[in-house]
Structure 1
């Protein structure tokens, strides 16, 4: 029986303290925190884990430097503390990075004034990063030759952090944590009906892959459906003081634009006065994001979106030739669920682009529902703790929080893995230029499970071979994904457990001999069907099912 099937069997007919609906970052971290404190927890999502908003982020872990201009000092302070905490808990996954903001003559702030803001930001962040720096135009060119400095007055560099791997894989790390703490979790399981019966919720669920329906019960529901939270609350008869509005953001993934001397984010003001970024992603660069008000959570990159970002970056970088749509390897497009107070005209209380990514957590005592509204990756640990507080207030007994539900393994465990990897000369298996050592990559992705990968490679050297050439994924990793990562569709692996789709052009993927082997390892006898579904979905440009 597969891991997913075993978990669905546990959920069917079960009675849990808490059922968490939605497995984006908010739902995954809520399930991990609750299970880590002794609650019996079930977590479901009608799509894949981290398959909607949580897979479309900028991969940045930051304190919200831009929120300073609206004097949201408490929010910035809280986000900076969260950023510092995540960097400490995930030293191999979340790393400090510089943001070099080039200021042209048309920029809203002079370099000296921006420098004051960067210094204040450093202080508000409790000096948890390297100190900011100020550059004149000549120094900017020396620091990053890719920047066109003809119209640049100067620049500042402040520090934040970023996810080295992809965002949805980070979400999955909390799903794994919840599993290890005893939670029952399942992707592609949707809520059909939910009704309050006495002291519990009775919920009918459907496995969207097989069509089978099951029933489960829980004392408390946690609504972590992200952009779909309002609709879920309406179906459950739950009223909240806040609601969600949508802002669409897009990113374009292109070949690396900046020097490989060191990783650094470039920041620019676009023609509308809003910041956008060039973010490193290994051998690629990510350009974005935009900020467009939309009425639906279902979005796509339009020709206008694409042309706008390409025009903005071409005007600000000194490139051998202008970027065109032919250079775009992949696109990310999603909505940010922004929180506003209910009431007529509430979305107009502030300028649209000034709305922050704060979160609100509301508790309905009568219905025994906790709603998580808004938020961002940076604040995820706070969300988990706050959800625990509200669930405990509804009468669910929780153990003391020892912080075991998040973070990387202990330094001694890491040292032992690196010792064993050196003895077997793991990094000598890789001869490609500009790729990180295998030891670093396997430890970052798998933590303690990376020891099993070493054993597999020792037993069979073929397990240490790349399956898809430029995709940089070992055969042993495929077997691990098949066994332990609840991969239901090929897109789950290609887009979320890995970031192959984000860094390898579609024609290279589809023309790769390794793609067939990937499907065979992941799905066995079902490989042909899953491969056909994947190719049909790519051709149709179909988006994954939403979290709810």
Structure 2
């Protein structure tokens, strides 16, 4: 395993790869993990950080697509429910069951009993893997969640789906790490400037965006997993595909915790679309919007903020209405929706998040369109099958290329952490053992040994966050951190639950930066404080 950027870039320039993947979002990450587990010589580059676009702006849900029942996409719901169950089974620490409490307002387009029957059907599609749905009267809703406004409600119900305990980008990064452990060569902040097919191989002119230095990568097969940029990249490589993307913008706002329960509150917003109030650690996330946009460069607008705040204030019974001043952080991303046509003439609202993979066998080029986190394992499996059909040798038959270590390994770790858990920093939301295992899996043993050797490594490294010094040491060497945003926005959800001014002035920021960047620490802190990323107001 190598997470040394400089060494990896040298390797990318030196090796002739079987496959090069462009894009380190969820599609690229699972493709790399699946292929590396089968012995394929694979590389992955991203022009920014891993999971830097759509894959860091989701609702942090792994859900089976209940809304697709309305559009009668039963095969898709069946597939997504199966995929959700698979994630819950193999990532029990990271992907956990969560109850959705849905309130149906008076005048809704369907009778409440009919919608409830849909939840029962959804449970059956989910193979009874989760808790059964439960019908709720207005009184029962109020008893469960006093913060729900029930004056305009008919009734409601509870049903189950799955939730990411950390954040989406952390989940994606762990697939990147899995790929690297299986010998994939990965590098963030490396851009494909030009890619051409020459002499039965792809020749890629690449640029290290941290130094502006250029180099060449050669690969037999090229995979375009650039998310919202798939069409743009295909245009540059002269690839014609049967699919292309339409974009739907989604905005989420973070506010102080609204519900005391770890439950998702689901409503239908004023425009009839789903609207969520989601738990996010000690905070609450509300949204999302769903607006068609022409470009992937979407931003949060005042209209977006007001739409979310107005719906939250209407649907929730709060002590005082939420205002812009209550927004701790915000994020905005586009959902790339796959469409099979030359022009975007489809009903984009009705488009699902199902993925599509187009293949140019002659050029040995693969394009991945659409998709969602829930379906990621299927994407990894399908890509491996396609690469094999293109003639790339699979040296191993490692079919189970994903999942946490065995319960036996976890049990051994938890027993070894009993004394260390006593050092958990005051105010932490969970014991160190739980946090370490979920985020680092078997690598958590390294953190355990570091703390046993030096108990001060269990101390809080950065105010307002939960990072210990043992973690910062690990991250510095093994998670390819180029900027503070990589650590605080994508390897963790710190900037999504902590106000900008609090992080800018957090005790330990300079010390953490020093450990991560050495002599460049002061520069990195200044860049972070001066940044105007959309997820920080």
State the TM-score, normalizing by the size of structure 1: 0.95
Counterpart position of 2:285 = 286
Q: Distance in 2 between matches of 1:301 and 1:543?
A: 9
- Match of 1:5, SS? helix
1:385 has 2:381 as partner: yes
SS at match of 2:438: helix
Listed one character per residue, the Cα deviations across residues 406-432 of structure 1 (whole Å, up to 9, x for unaligned) are: 11111111001100111x241443332
Whole-Å separation in 2 of the counterparts to 1:97 and 1:403: 29
CA distance in structure 1 between the partners assigned to 2:423 and 2:206 by the alignment: 48
Aligned with 2:356 (options 345, 355, 360): 360
Deviation at 1:2, TM superposition (A): 6.8
Find the aligned partners of 2:258 and 2:126 in 1 and give their Cα distance: 30
Give 1:227's aligned residue: 228
**Are the structure 2 counterparts of residues 93 and 427 from structure 1 closer, same or farther at C-alpha, using a change threshold of 3 Å?**
farther
Secondary structure at the counterpart of residue 315 of structure 2:
coil
User: How far did residue 115 of structure 1 move?
Assistant: 1.0
State the alpha-carbon separation in 2 of the partners of residues 211 and 480 from structure 1: 27
Q: Deviations over 1:242-275 (max 9, x none)?
A: 1011110000011111123xx1100011111111
Change (3 A) 1:412 1:428: same
Q: Select 1:429's aligned residue among 419, 424, 428.
A: 424
Whether the 8 Å contact between 1:250 and 1:288 is mirrored in structure 2 is yes
Give 2:411's aligned residue.
Answer: 415
2: CA distance between counterparts of 1:349 and 1:251?
A: 26
Residue of structure 2 equivalent to 1:504: 498
Aligned in 2, Cα 1:116/1:265: closer, same or farther, shift over 3 Å? same
Alignment of 1:366-377 (within 5 A): 366-377=362-373
For the aligned residue pairs, the C-alpha RMSD in angstroms reads 1.5
- 2:298 touches 2:333 (CA, 8 Å); kept in 1? yes
8 Å Cα contact 2:464-2:506 kept in structure 1: no
2:307 matched residue in structure 1: 308
C-alpha displacement of 1:281 = 0.9
Q: How does 1:8-27 map to 2 (within 5 A)?
A: 8-27=9-28
Q: Which residue of 1 aligns with 2:448?
A: 454
Aligned residue number for residue 396 of structure 1: 392
| Contact 2:251–2:332 (Cα < 8 Å) also in 1 | yes
SS of match in other structure, 1:12: helix
Aligned match of 2:487: 493
Distance in 2, matches of 1:543 and 1:206, equals 27
Contact 2:464 2:503 in 1 (8 A): no
Q: How many residues align?
A: 535
User: What is the aligned partner in structure 2 of residue 89 from structure 1?
Assistant: 90
Show the counterpart of 1:473: 467
1:348 lines up with 2:345 in the alignment: yes
Aligned partner of residue 503 in structure 2, secondary structure: helix
2:317 is aligned with 1:326: no
Listed as ranges, the gaps of 5+ residues in structure 2 are none
Residues 265 and 280 in structure 1, CA contact (< 8 A), matched pair in contact too? yes
1:285–1:403 CA distance, 2 compared to 1 (3 A): farther
SS of the equivalent of 2:176 reads: helix
Q: Which moved more, 1:247-256 or 1:148-157?
A: 148-157
Matches of 1:34 and 1:512 in 2, distance apart?
41
Matched with 1:264 is 263
- 1:124 and 2:125 are equivalent in the alignment: yes
**Equivalence for 1:180:** 181
Q: CA separation in 2, counterparts of 1:460 and 1:363? A: 53
Quote the residue 2:275 is aligned against: 276
- How far, CA to CA, are the matches of 2:110 and 2:430 in structure 1? 38
CA contact (8 A) 1:205 1:214 kept: yes
Deviation track 1:346-395 (CA, whole Å, cap 9, x = no partner) reads x3333x32211010011101111011000000000000011111111110
State which drifts further: 498-507 or 69-78.
498-507
Of residues 181-190 and 502-511 in structure 1, the stretch that sits farther from structure 2 once superposed is 502-511
Displacement of 1:238 after TM fit? 1.0
Separation in structure 2 between the aligned mates of residue 160 and residue 513 of structure 1, nearest angstrom = 38
Alignment-derived partner of residue 59 in structure 2: 58
Contact 2:425–2:458 (8 Å) recurs in 1: no
